[in-house]
Structure 1
Amino acid sequence: MLLRCIRAENRKLHASPIWILFFLLPTISAAYETINYLGNLDLLGVSWYALWTQHTLFYSLFFFPAMVAIYASYLWRLEHMGHNWNLILSAPVRPFALFFAKFVVVVKLVLLTQCFIFFLYCFCGKVFATLPGWPPAETFFFLMRGVLGGLSVVALQLVFSMLIRSFAVPVFIALFGGIVGIVSSSKGAGLYWPYSLMQYGMNSNRSEDMLAGNLLPFLLSCAFWLCLLFLLAAWLLNRRDVRS
């Protein structure tokens, strides 16, 4: 039944308008951050690593949470129409399977987004920054770490979109979470805030590895938030009643 739920969620993406945002938001992010990098070459230096720190800063704290919020709100919008919740709760499938199916589909979109971000990073580095060679292998490692850091944001935004019928409100919550993430990271408390974990994983705006010696606490924090949000989603879904 879970596979059927995943296939049903995937069908929602066919000819979906979110693909416009999928291409548009990362492109805007890459353009802004490339301009910022080129305007600060004297300070940042000419290197692939310096470009990476700029390319991932605003993306990890603002663009990524907003995109995940849009993905989550879009996948939940059908359930919020009419009496569709009644159909879900009376269907011969556990309600959490629906939540987990949406989680799998959003994670797939996140992986595609990360690949597109890496493509834009390479493209801007070669075409606009005219950097020699190719990006260091560490940047791909940071990219995969960023996916782990983003899983808690996916789960949290799915919970918000499940509870809030509005499409836009979860997006504003995601942006606010990114702002709080800046503050928590600057205070050295980013590992305790889910919206900061992507920044830590991507190693944004740092010349040294932010997780050097802290990889285990990072992984534990990712696992803690993910398990907590899964349990919360299951509890909330089990408390819902069919409405006449």
Structure 2
Amino acid sequence: MNRILKTERCKLKRSCIWLAVLGIPLIPAFLGSANYAGNTGILTNQWYSLWTQVTLFYCYFFFPALIGLYCAYLFRLEHLNHNWNLLMTLPVRRSSLFLGKWITAGGLIFITQMFLVLLYFIAGNFLGLTVPFPWRKVLLWALLGILSGMAIASFQLLCSLIFRSFAVPVAIAFAGGLAGMGLYLKGFGLLSPFSLMALGMNANNPKGDLPYPAPVLIAACLGFSALFCFLGILWMRIRDVKSE
């Protein structure tokens, strides 16, 4: 596993994926901050109101698609130049190959989440928020966002394994974010990993309690992660993986 993770890190080094890691979170942070600045007469809860504006854009539109991009990129090299043929002959477990990519995606998700929290903190200070920063709540929301992001990543890695096209898994991720919003609004958020992002990050009501207790959300994230990782490993074991 250590060798697999080192290999994945080597593929990411000097990769253009870092432009997405550091660039795309700037968009929801800017849009949310601008919306907050233009509606301070209505949005009166300072840090909590700003969190809502930033994460509503982030959870449903940007982060799911970004995770889809991460996962599609992690499988892209294997789909090209007959690399699968070489990889499948190596004395490496299929489970280690899939889980190595899942852990690598988790690292990218962690960096993205922490960068968003930093942008949120900078934006709040720039906007002149005067109440103390809610560190404990924000870190809890960020952690739950990471776990829900890894649940999405397990699904997206499965999609990226099945579909050799780079664009199709990203499109599925974007559609999943929209579907997750619909399920959240209907009260079925626990049924989709894409809804868990908004639930865990408490995007709709940050001043109040989480929609579900944190242990329930964590269990749902771990359950989806285990399910899709199992399906991904099973697919690699029973199907011949083809290269372009």
The reply to whether TM is greater than 0.5 is: yes
> Which residue pairs with 1:22 in the alignment?
21
Counterparts of 2:192 and 2:125, CA distance in 1: 35
- Give distance in 2, aligned partners of 1:22 and 1:242: 28
Q: Which residue does the alignment assign to 2:167?
A: 168
The one-letter amino acid of 1:89's match is M
The yes-or-no answer on 1:216 pairing with 2:215 is: yes
| RMSD between superposed Cα atoms in Å | 1.6
How many residues in Structure 1 have an aligned counterpart in Structure 2?
241
List aligned pairs for 1:37-116, cutoff 5 A: 37-116=36-115
Q: Provide the identity percentage.
A: 39
C-alpha displacement of 1:119: 0.6
Q: Give SS of 2:88's match.
A: helix
Residue type of the alignment partner of 2:219: L
Q: Which moved more, 1:105-114 or 1:221-230?
A: 221-230
* 1:181 corresponding residue in structure 2: 180
Q: For the Cα contact (< 8 Å) 1:49–1:135, is it kept in 2?
A: no
Once residues 80 and 115 of structure 1 are traced to their aligned partners in structure 2, the CA distance between those partners, rounded to angstroms, is 31
The residue number in structure 2 matching 1:131 is 129
| 1:117-156: CA deviation from partner (whole Å, max 9, x where unpaired) | 01100111111x2111542121111111111122110111
| Counterpart contact for 1:61–1:178, Cα < 8 Å | yes
In the superposition, the TM-score normalised over structure 1's length comes to 0.94
CA contact (8 A) 1:149 1:222 kept: yes
Change (3 A) 1:242 1:219: closer
Q: Given that residues 155 and 229 in structure 1 are in contact (C-alpha distance below 8 angstroms), is that contact kept between their aligned partners in structure 2? A: yes
User: How far, CA to CA, are the matches of 1:47 and 1:242 in structure 2?
Assistant: 51
Give CA-to-partner distance per residue, 1:180-238, whole Å, 9 cap, x none: 111100111001111011111110021422335x3333222112211111110111000
| In 1: Cα distance, 2:165 partner to 2:240 partner | 20
Q: TM-score, normalised by structure 2?
A: 0.94
SS at 2:164's partner residue? coil
Structure 1: unaligned runs, 5 residues or longer: none
Gaps of 5+ in 2: none
Q: Is the 8 A contact 1:46 1:131 kept in 2?
A: no
